[in-house]
Amino acid sequence: MCKACFVLQTSVVKMATWKTCLYVRGINQLTSFTRRQTLILYDCSQNQPSQIFLSKLLSTKAGHQTSTHGTLDKTENNVSTSTHNRCLKHNMPFNAMHHHTLSSNMKCLHGHPLLSTNINQSTRLGKTNFSLSTRSILESSPPSIQPYLRLIRFDKPIGTFLLYWPCTWSIGLAAQAGHLPSISTLAWFGIGAFLMRGAGCIINDMWDKDFDKKVARTKTRPLASGELTPFQALVFLGSQLSLALAVLLQFNTYSVILGAASMGLVICYPLAKRYTYWPQVLLGLTFNYGALLGWSAVQGSVDLASVLPLYVGCLAWTLVYDTIYAHQDKYDDMLIGVKSTALKLGDNTKPWLVGFSTVTIAGLSLSGFLCDQTWPFYLGVSAMTAHLAHQIMTVDLNNPDSCASKFRSNNQLGLMVFIGIVLGTLLKSDKTTEEKKRDLEMNS
């Protein structure tokens, strides 16, 4: 039996014929299941999963709840010592593994807002609340389409935004002094970011479907759960890449060639976590490629002196938010053999995050200086500095919900910097650029 599974007494689920195993997230965590309002139970004799809704557990008699607590307490005391050894190997404190123990998380079964059995009044009356959120759109879509939308993380647009913001920063920096960036260019890059993020998710899930089956947060993904076949995913990937190519062809030839060269990074990134504890570096190179492409789409080529500091700064930013994100799955990753910066850095993560943030601020500041940016740009960078400092100080790296919240907050950070760049470019003077060109001509 897997060390991440614990034998429970049959009285927990009113089954008297066989024992069950409660699969918990990593090491005896119940948090992920309270969010889904579901306990995942495995029939050890048939190796088949079944779902028991927690609302049904809440309705069990007090006697059953008492026996559940007793069973969980016994289970917690029998955690394998090999878990302790794994913690030591990855420089993690053993007590961190018990941050959310089964016994303590049984409190989640009582009065948790996500486990309420009360039905919303509007639902009783047959009314539906109109919403344009991505989750609402997904849930209202035809059932045959929903697996494809979940495959590209349609209901989780944060990845698209994090891919898009470096593109907008580069487009804003490359824009003509005193002018707004091209709306059409921003729109095409927005569409491209959505398509390429979706394509990246498909490639990632095709590579990782066997790993995803072993992780509570990812086991319900369409490929891991068997809702879609690899062939269906491959066909859908082809459609995504075809549309992305159509978007890329809207730009100059230099940009088309530069954009096509990024596919090697997109394909290889999911493999990095198998071989190195620094897969976030490859993710940063991939996710921030738009910083190079945005400049070339506006200027016709890449000015490395101005863009390279931006690219490096964006890469360091990715190391910040994706290291925080990786801490959500560090226990699962450790058990299944997947590597990440979260496992590499362990208790020293926050000092490293400070270093990554410093590189981020330095890279953006240098790029802005070389592009003759004005005070609104530096105000935006200052806001970014404060935001990163707040993330690092307040994030609880042993709390998946805290990590997820801080990860998503980087969307606001990206917007703040973009606004600073746009306003800084508007205040730039064409005269400054012309004088700079004359000075270069005189020096040459």
| The model scores a pTM over 0.85 | no
For residues 115-134, average pLDDT: 48
Percentage helix, strand, coil for the chain under 3-state DSSP, each rounded to 5: 70, 5, 25
Task: Give the pLDDT score at 356.
Answer: 98
Is 176:432 a contact under the CB 8 Å cutoff? no
| Chain region(s) in the chain for CATH 1.10.357.140 | 147-439
pLDDT (tens digit per residue) in 230-288: 999 999 999 999 999 999 999 999 999 999 999 999 999 989 999 999 999 999 999 99
Give the containing element (helix H, strand E) for 43: strand 38-43
pLDDT digits (tens, 9 = 90+) for 53-108: 333 333 333 334 333 344 334 333 443 444 444 444 555 444 443 333 333 333 33
Instruction: pLDDT band for 426, please (50, 70, 90 cuts).
Output: very high
Environment class of 128 (CB within 10 Å of its CB; exposed 0-12, middle 13-18, buried 19+): exposed
Please compute, for residue 127, the number of CA atoms within 13 A of its CA located in the half-sphere on the CB side: 6
Q: State yes or no: pLDDT of 323 exceeds 70.
A: yes
Q: How far apart are CA 102 and CA 407, in angstroms?
A: 26
Which of the two residues, 84 and 402, has the higher pLDDT score? 402
Cβ neighbours of 372 (radius 10 Å):
17
**Gap between the Cα atoms of 444 and 144, Å rounded:** 64
* CA-closest candidate to residue 364, choices 382, 351, 389: 382
Residue 290 has pLDDT above 90, yes or no: yes
Q: Which CATH architecture has domain 147-439?
A: Orthogonal Bundle (1.10)
Average pLDDT, stretch 335-354?
94
| pLDDT given for residue 431 in this prediction | 54
Query: Which helix (H) or strand (E) covers residue 21, if one does?
Result: strand 20-23
To which H or E segment does residue 53 belong?
Answer: strand 48-53
Q: Tell me the percentage of the chain whose pLDDT exceeds 90.
A: 61
